[in-house]
Amino acid sequence: NDVPTAIELGKRATQYGMKVCIDFHYSDFWADPKRQHAPKAWKGMSVEEKCDALYDFTIESLTEILDSGVNVGMVQIGNEINYGMSGETSIPAVMKLLESGSRAVRKISKKYGKDIQIAVHYTNIRNNKEIDNIASNLSEYEIDYDIFAISYYPMWDGTIENMQNVAKNIQKNYGKDVVIAETSYCYTSEDGDGCGNSF
């Protein structure tokens, strides 16, 4: 995916009255718990230089998307960033990157007079303590965001009750809304591909 594709899909959604979530992975490939590679263009950059590059990319991309008529309602800064972001793995470095992304979204939101919500996205919610530590770090570093987004795949992330408990903890103890940004669940137990089913 790239900005022109996001514009094409975003305009289609906007045409039908929907708001759009722009999910910045800040990588040349998708980002998830196993891979948080910096874009090749950022190779060799210091954390501070990456922060500047991330800020500029966010400003430029959102400007292009909004100028194309896409109704952006939410921006996700990073994708499943439990263990790093854009090649950085230390908590202070990731927090600096998040601060840069958040600042860029707020600037564009103000410039265009739009209420664009900022989401941070995590996974591995089976580990309640890890998720609480993440939320605590976001609070301690005073990261400006609106929504704590989670992935929920029952096969890896446990029961619906546990997912609800994670969400309630974030809402109660950190005052943030929670959304499920990624999910998948079987609609049938019938064999559809000749391989064993995973639930």
* Cα–Cα distance list, 73 to 22, 58, 76, 95, 150 (Å): 8, 15, 10, 23, 18
Residue found under tokens 């559809």: 192
Residues 164, 181: Cα–Cα separation, whole Å: 14
- Residue 182 among the catalytic residues: yes
Looking at the DSSP assignment, which residues form a beta bridge with residue 21? 74
49 counts as catalytic:
no
Looking at 48, 130, 161, 182, which residue is catalytic?
A: 182
Set 48, 49, 60, 80: catalytic member = 80
CB 183 within 8 A of CB 153: yes
Structural contact between residues 108 and 59, judged by C-beta atoms closer than 8 angstroms = yes
In whole angstroms, give the CA distance from residue 97 to residue 53. 10
Amino acid, single-letter form, for residue 193: D
Query: Any idea what DSSP says for residue 76?
Result: E
The DSSP string of 111-145 is: HHT---EEEEEE--TT-HHHHHHHHHHHHHTT---
Active site residues: 80, 182
